[in-house]
Amino acid sequence: MKRTIIAILLAIALLTSFAACGGSPAEIETPVTSVRGLDTVTLIVTLPDGTQNTHKITTDKSNLGKVLDDEGLIERDEKGMIVKVAGVEASWERDQAYWALYINGEYAMKGVDEEILADGNEYEFRYTKG
């Protein structure tokens, strides 16, 4: 009789320990791996005469400034400020002109280096005189 009770208690202990280690498939957490896909965005450059050049860019990078640097679409001065877009210079010192960044038609509240790309977005640099 003692052997039966011990065997039952041992079986319960083993089942409890297996249940604690595992779980039903719904309870097991699986790691989520995020893989950034390709984003396609539009860059519009509005020149001093009002004409616009449009560039479609497809990239796996997430930072707008990095993408524009890599594509050769912007040039910076020694302080990192954008002075040329698509080869056209804007000089605050000479003309009180600068490149204003718009995202989906709204004035950007961050600079290109802080802006995270989003698929389908439209980014525009407008030559602007102050």
Nearest alpha-carbon partner for 96 in 51, 52, 48, 44: 48
Mean pLDDT of the chain, nearest integer: 82
Which domain covers residue 73, as residue numbers?
39-129
85 belongs to a structural domain? yes
CATH number, domain with residue 115: 2.170.130.30
Q: According to the model, what pLDDT value does residue 20 have?
A: 47
The per-residue pLDDT for range 61-105, each reduced to its tens digit, is: 999 999 999 999 999 999 999 999 999 999 999 999 999 999 999
pLDDT beyond 70 at 122: yes
105 belongs to a structural domain? yes
15 belongs to a structural domain? no
Nearest alpha-carbon partner for 122 in 41, 61, 8: 41
State the total domains in the chain: 1
92 belongs to a structural domain? yes
30 belongs to a structural domain? no
Pairwise CA distance, residues 17 & 63, whole Å = 49
